[in-house]
């Protein structure tokens, strides 16, 4: 190992030792906090981790002593027991002269390292970062579960770890920028921005809990580093004994923390309630819309079947006004009409059931928010969100069609067979048909007495029946014109034309019937 390399290695060791020392102190703080709060289980766990950390720290110090020839003191393995016994003096001496204690700034040694050494440095840094991240994760979990006094302490620990992560990343960003590794620079920059946001979130939590202000991490750190500006360290915050300064009594801290925790709990509850209320309003608005649309769907099905059933009933009405049918024919006609009506009613019930089934699937797509639902991958969530939007569009389109259909079904409309589906219209048609039938009973009797084949008679009855339809439709047309039951002038014109044509049709049919009767009589 060359002298330069040896020097670099020593400097890196000093840096690493400083970092491990910081972690060691934080663990000692954590143990002290557990001791103070009487958390035996927590203390046991921290003691175990602390022993491992001391071993790691001492190993680094041993390496440093070997390389530098100095005799830096190691940490006693009895330290955890001493802390548990009430000691707040951890007695961890500084090793060497770290360029930036606790890695508060990126390493000035970087400028003297060559590319290979920089890569080694990065590798080491990444490994160290992973360790801290694991620790941060554990502490964050503990912090989230803790209350009052313990929570404050754990927040401080989290801040320390988070700060360290930021500083390490800042350093790595500087190194990668120096190495001109654009891909990594981009990744670290993004990562660093996220970590700064995470740090500031913990600062907010601390401020809410303790009502004391802390310096936030500057969001411009990544840009500053890339611009070659000096890194501004984030001020450290410590719990108690590590800096040797006087601390508040446990009772004081506990009282402040408890009061703060209570206010936080109230604030959280209010916020949660407000959020919940907002969600309920949002959800209920959505549910209301969904319910409205779904009801319209069911209405369309119901009205559609009403339309169909009314047509069948009207056909049944009209079947009473038929010439040339005997009682048996009429009974059979009535039976078949009733059966068709019954089938339609049954189909209507089925249709409603299936429409509800369909709707429960379609509207579930809308009511299930992809943000809160479980999805295996982010890509799935994006896909689900896009499908949800698509479904919303389709359902809105269907809603528009439903409205149009309802305006037709609810209005006074006529089917293809020219049968009114409106009750009043049905009545008008029936009355007109009955009037025509009564008026033409003599003609029907004439046809019945004719010395003609039954086929000829049926054809004559057919023409008479056509007149029944025409006269009833004419009556309806005249009724609509009289009561102005049309939508526009175009429809009015069409109705007037129909009226004229229907009158002509009835006249022509009557002439035809009389001509055929005369022909048959003269034939005989």
**Site size toward another protein, by CB under 8 A:** 61
Paired residues of 420 in beta bridges: 414
Site string for another protein, 402-441 (x = CB under 8 A): x-xx--xx---xxxxxx-----------------------
Rounded to an integer, what distance in angstroms lies between the CA atom of residue 153 and that of residue 452?
114
Q: Give min distance, CB of 355 to another protein, in A.
A: 4
497 in contact with another protein (CB under 8 A): yes
Q: Give min distance, CB of 414 to another protein, in A.
A: 5
361 in contact with another protein (CB under 8 A): yes
Phi, psi of 57 (to 5 degrees): -65, -45
Rounded to an integer, what distance in angstroms lies between the CA atom of residue 170 and that of residue 172?
5
Site string for another protein, 462-491 (x = CB under 8 A): ----x--xx--x---x--x-----x----x
Candidates 434, 416, 415, 413; CA nearest to 424 is 413
Segment interacting with another protein (CB under 8 A) among 53-61, 155-163, 264-272, 354-362: 354-362
Segment interacting with another protein (CB under 8 A) among 171-179, 180-188, 351-359, 430-438: 351-359
Segment interacting with another protein (CB under 8 A) among 28-36, 217-225, 302-310, 320-328: 302-310
CA dihedral 48, 50, 56, 57 (to 10 degrees): -160
> Closest CB to another protein among 211 and 383?
383
Candidates 45, 25, 48; CA nearest to 34 is 45
350 in contact with another protein (CB under 8 A): yes
Tokens 């009557």 belong to 510
Quick one: three-class SS letters along 206-225?
HHHHHCCCCCCCCCCHHHHH
Rounded to an integer, what distance in angstroms lies between the CA atom of residue 151 and that of residue 200?
17
Q: Give min distance, CB of 388 to another protein, in A.
A: 8
DSSP tag of 480? H
CA dihedral 78, 79, 81, 82 (to 10 degrees): 110
Segment interacting with another protein (CB under 8 A) among 90-98, 168-176, 390-398, 515-523: 390-398
Contact 479, 425 (CB under 8 A): yes
Among 141, 271, 357, 511, binds another protein (CB under 8 A): 357
Site string for another protein, 77-96 (x = CB under 8 A): --------------------
Rounded to an integer, what distance in angstroms lies between the CA atom of residue 318 and that of residue 313?
9
The HSE-up count of residue 193 (CA atoms within 13 Å, CB side) is 10
Q: Give every CB contact of residue 125 below 8 A, 6+ residues apart in sequence.
A: 168, 171, 172, 175
375 in contact with another protein (CB under 8 A): yes
Q: Give min distance, CB of 307 to another protein, in A.
A: 7
Structure tokens that stand for 242 in this block: 């590590």
Give the binding site for another protein (CB under 8 A): 300-301, 304-305, 307-308, 347, 350-355, 357-358, 361-362, 364-365, 373, 375-376, 380, 383-384, 387-388, 390-391, 394-395, 397-398, 401-402, 404-405, 408-409, 413-418, 466, 469-470, 473, 477, 480, 486, 491, 494-495, 497-498, 501-502, 504-505
């Amino acid at each position: 190992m060359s002298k330069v390399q040896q020097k670099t290695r020593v400097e890196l060791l000093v840096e690493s030792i400083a970092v491990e020392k910081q972690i060691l102190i934080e663990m000692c703080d954590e143990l002290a906090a557990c001791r103070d709060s009487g958390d035996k289980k927590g203390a046991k766990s921290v003691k175990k981790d602390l022993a491992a950390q001391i071993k790691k720290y001492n190993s680094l110090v041993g390496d440093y002593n070997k390389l530098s020839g100095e005799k830096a003191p190691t940490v006693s393995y009895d330290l955890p027991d001493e802390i548990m016994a009430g000691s707040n003096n951890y007695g961890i001496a500084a090793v060497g002269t770290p360029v930036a204690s606790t890695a508060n700034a990126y390493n000035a040694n970087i400028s003297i390292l060559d590319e290979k050494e920089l890569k080694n440095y990065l590798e080491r840094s990444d490994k160290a970062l992973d360790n801290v991240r694991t620790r941060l994760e554990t502490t964050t979990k503990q912090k989230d579960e803790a209350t009052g006094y313990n929570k404050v302490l754990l927040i401080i620990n989290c801040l320390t770890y988070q700060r360290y992560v930021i500083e390490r990343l800042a350093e790595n960003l500087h190194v990668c920028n120096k190495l001109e590794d654009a891909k990594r620079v981009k990744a670290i920059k993004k990562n660093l921005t996220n970590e700064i946001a995470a740090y500031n979130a913990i600062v907010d939590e601390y401020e809410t809990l303790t009502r004391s202000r802390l310096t936030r991490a500057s969001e411009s750190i990544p840009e500053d580093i890339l611009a070659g500006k000096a890194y501004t360290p984030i001020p450290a915050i410590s719990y108690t004994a590590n800096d040797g300064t006087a601390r508040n009594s446990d009772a004081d801290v506990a009282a402040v923390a408890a009061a703060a925790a209570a206010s936080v709990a109230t604030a959280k509850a209010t916020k949660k309630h407000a959020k919940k209320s907002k969600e309920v309003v949002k959800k209920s608005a959505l549910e209301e819309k969904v319910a409205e649309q779904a009801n319209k769907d069911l209405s369309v099905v119901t009205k559609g079947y009403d339309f169909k059933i009314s047509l069948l009933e009207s056909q049944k009405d009209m079947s009473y006004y038929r010439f040339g049918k005997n009682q048996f024919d009429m009974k059979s006609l009535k039976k078949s009409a009733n059966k068709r009506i019954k089938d339609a009613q049954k189909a209507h019930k089925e249709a409603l059931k299936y429409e509800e089934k369909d709707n429960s699937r379609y509207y579930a797509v809308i009511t299930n928010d992809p943000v809160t639902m479980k999805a295996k991958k982010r890509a799935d969530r994006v896909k689900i969100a896009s499908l949800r939007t698509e479904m919303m569009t389709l359902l809105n389109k269907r809603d528009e069609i439903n409205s149009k259909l309802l305006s037709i079904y609810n209005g006074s409309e006529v089917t293809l067979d020219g049968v009114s589906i409106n009750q009043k219209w049905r009545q008008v048609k029936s009355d007109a048909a009955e009037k025509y039938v009564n008026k033409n009973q003599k003609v029907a009797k004439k046809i019945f007495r004719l010395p003609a084949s039954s086929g000829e008679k049926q054809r004559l009855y057919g023409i008479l029946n056509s007149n029944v339809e025409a006269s009833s439709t004419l009556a309806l047309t005249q009724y609509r014109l009289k009561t102005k039951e049309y939508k526009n002038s175009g429809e009015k014109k069409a109705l007037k034309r129909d009226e004229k044509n229907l009158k002509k049709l009835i006249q022509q049919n009557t002439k035809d019937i009389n001509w055929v009767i005369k022909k048959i009589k003269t034939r005989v």
